[in-house]
Amino acid sequence: MAGLLVAVAGCGNGQPSPGSTTSDATSASSSAGSGSPTTSGSTSASPSRTTTAAPPPTTSQQPTTTSAASCVDRAYNAMTSAQRVGQLFMTAVSSTGMTTAQAQAITAGRTGSVFLQGRTTQGTAAVKAVTAKVRALASPVRGVSLGMFVSTDQEGGQVQVLNGPGFSTIPSAVTQGTRSAATLQSDAATWGRQLASAGVNMNLAPVADTVPADQVAVNAPIGKLDREYGTDPSTVASHSTAFLRGMRQAGVVPSIKHFPGLGRSSGNTDFTAGVTDSVTTTDDAYLQPFRAGIQAGTPFVMVSSAIYTRIDPDHQAAFSSAVIRTLLRGKLGFKGAVISDDLGNAAAVADHTPAQRAVDFITAGGDVVLTVRPSDIAPMTSAVLSRMSASSSFRADVAASVRRVLTAKHNAGVLTCG
């Protein structure tokens, strides 16, 4: 998704995958991976990159209350194994209208979340008609009301999937970074309310990656697409957190990305295999924006598909227990749900079968598998169910992941118990 996001507008058709860095900004064209990203509306020259001091986070992660835990237990116990596994998947639906194949993937896989892909200029009313049809496909669970996360990539600049009447033309993160954190939070709340009015309750944003000033011009997933809030971790921390808080204020679930950062790698994982970061460590200053987002209560963190040789040289981050369990959950204390960057079209994971991608991600500690290819859902969910029958430790991993997703849904009002 590093590059797919821009392409996200066309995610799944060769366009950027949701949440991914490169994806987000890569192409607005109908075929992902091809051509330069495009944006709707007029674009202006990038402003000079200024930095501001980051205020310390003031909000802690939302705790799971007793009532929430009780409702999660009730939902979990009422679900079939297939329904539980379906909660761990997010697949793509065209923002201009769900296809038969997309609908069949959702219902057959009991998929718990969807991603709106492919740029639209039709406005909030048209998008709401699409999201209403998506929600009608949610797999019913006895005794509870369990809905779907309906997400998109609405960062701004070259990565804005939803456009048209009712949606603001959101400036790039570079421009957002020149505003005060308070102003940005207010703006993000406005943008979030627009999403909510269209039936979108999750945004795969903000980007918490920091690109050093001397690498902006060569950093394909972030810098070249103006997706960074600044060129130092403090500015990125203050402004990504402000965006996150604004979304939450509007009732939209945010997801910071792309952990542990794509700002110091040159390639876009959406379009390039073997993307490597040989700089980032477990004590790196560039982790500050992610730490701030966690302290501010982000419900989701998206993990990248790059390789971080100084953390785990043998696995991509999405398949690395050292990155997800040891660093993100252990050292940084994240208790929420971990979502992958695109594990469908991304070139970075092409050497794994869809089944391997899903099993390896969950084994590493991940929770929600994002694939922009609906055809991946069947082999992925089948592989997870098969692995569950063969491994007690994997069954425990799945159970923990399902509960984290259900908790996030309860906290967002997507899961309720009478």
Contact between 303 and 29 under an 8 Å Cβ cutoff? The reply is: no
Q: Which residue has the higher pLDDT, 231 or 20?
A: 231
Percent of the chain with pLDDT over 70: 84
CA distances, 312 to each of 54, 255, 282, 333 (Å): 30, 23, 10, 19
Cα(332)–Cα(293) distance, integer angstroms: 10
Mean pLDDT value of segment 165-171:
98
pLDDT reported for residue 52: 37
Which residue type sits at 291? Answer: R
Q: For the domain that residue 144 is a member of, what is the CATH number? A: 3.20.20.300
Q: What are 34-46's pLDDT values in tens digits?
A: 233 433 333 333 3
pLDDT reported for residue 262: 98
Nearest CA-CA partner of 287 in 259, 316, 245: 259
**pLDDT confidence bin for 65, thresholds 50/70/90:** low
Cα(338)–Cα(321) distance, integer angstroms: 12
In a domain, 227, yes or no: yes
* Cross-strand partners of 277: 308
pLDDT of 211 > 50? The answer is yes
Cα(417)–Cα(139) distance, integer angstroms: 16
The tokens describing 294, both together, are: 């966690």
In a domain, 50, yes or no: no
pLDDT of 14 > 60? The answer is no
Contact between 356 and 325 under an 8 Å Cβ cutoff? The reply is: no
Mean pLDDT value of segment 252-262:
98
In a domain, 72, yes or no: no
**Beta-sheet pairing, 202-203 with 149-152:** parallel
In a domain, 53, yes or no: no
Mean pLDDT value of segment 313-327:
98
**DSSP letter string, 75-126:** HHHHS-HHHHHHTTEEEEEETT---HHHHHHHHHHT--EEEEES-B-S-HHH
Which residue type sits at 207? Answer: V
What is the chain's mean pLDDT, rounded?
A: 88
**pLDDT confidence bin for 321, thresholds 50/70/90:** very high
pLDDT reported for residue 266: 85
Residue written as tokens 């908790």?
407
3-state secondary structure of 220: coil
pLDDT reported for residue 404: 98
In a domain, 404, yes or no: yes
In a domain, 74, yes or no: no
pLDDT reported for residue 55: 38
Name the DSSP class of 3.
B
Q: What are 348-364's pLDDT values in tens digits?
A: 999 999 999 999 999 99
Contact between 207 and 229 under an 8 Å Cβ cutoff? The reply is: yes
Percent of the chain with pLDDT over 90: 83
pLDDT of 4 > 70? The answer is no
Q: How many domains is the chain built from?
A: 1
Which residue type sits at 265? Answer: S
pLDDT of 31 > 90? The answer is no
Q: What are 104-133's pLDDT values in tens digits?
A: 999 999 999 999 999 999 999 999 999 999
Cα(386)–Cα(398) distance, integer angstroms: 12
Give residue 391's domain range: 4-33+79-412
Cα(293)–Cα(62) distance, integer angstroms: 12
In a domain, 253, yes or no: yes
Cα(156)–Cα(187) distance, integer angstroms: 11
pLDDT reported for residue 66: 59
Cα(259)–Cα(244) distance, integer angstroms: 15
pLDDT of 13 > 80? The answer is no
Burial 158-170 (b: 16+ CB within 10 A, else e): bbbbbbbebbeeb
In a domain, 69, yes or no: no
